[in-house]
Structure 1
């Protein structure tokens, strides 16, 4: 099943989780920061990740979703990191809602974990356990959609 892992990461937290997800899966086209507004080819599963910034996904991620060529994406799974507040916050809910509005089938379960915030908060996050859980999430979602 062709899979694409896409993320936006300012501080590297979401990138670390994206790389763990991509490493776990077969047939991953790319794991990359937000590229042009379309997948390079049709994908069965798009893992899409963002950090949470003041309760919102990054504006670059929002713009990407607005211009996403949905004819090339069958399913999406959302993941993210947050330096404060709850691990699964409003940013993930916003991304899921935007994808659904575009008619993409979005996996209900999302993955989220804490990320370091400045130098004082969540200093060692995402940690080894977060990476392990991200890999497990990726495998679970991938296997649930694999035909």
Structure 2
């Protein structure tokens, strides 16, 4: 099944999760920061990762979704990190809502964890347990998609 992992990350927290997901699955396009070229044709599953900035995804993520050619992507799963507050915050919900508006089937379950915030907060996040949980999430979602 053709799978692609994309993310947007300023600090590298979301990139760590994206890399763990990409390494876990077979036939995956290497994780890549947006905005890349459009996904290849017939992507069965797009993992889309966002960091939360002041309760929102970065504007580059929003723009990418708005310009996404939905004829290329059948299903999407959303993951993210947050340096402050609730890791499964508003940014993941906003990304899921935008994808649904585009008519893409969005996996209900998402993955979120805390990320390092500045020097002092969540210093070792995401940690080995977070990466392990991200890989488990990837396998579960990948196994649930019917091509």
TM-score (structure 1 length as normaliser): 0.97
Structural mapping, 1:54-93, within 5 Å:
54-93=54-93
Give the total of aligned pairs. 147
SS at match of 2:113: strand
Residues 100-128 of structure 1: CA distance to partner in whole angstroms, max 9, x if unpaired?
A: 00000000000000000000100000000
Whole-angstrom distance in 1 between the partners of 2:52 and 2:15: 13
Alignment of 1:18-29 (within 5 A): 18-29=18-29
What TM-score do you get using the length of structure 2 for normalisation?
0.97
What is the DSSP-based 3-state SS (H/G/I as helix, E as strand, rest coil) of the residue aligned with 1:70?
coil
- Corresponding residue number in structure 2 for 1:51: 51
CA RMSD of aligned residues (A): 1.0
Indicate the residue corresponding to 2:125 in structure 1: 125
Stretches of structure 2 that go unaligned for 5 or more consecutive residues are none
8 A Cα contact 2:35 2:60, kept in partner: no
Aligned to 1:39: 39
In structure 1, the partner of 2:113 is 113
Runs of 4+ residues deviating >4 angstroms: none
- Contact persistence 2:77–2:107 (CA under 8 A): yes
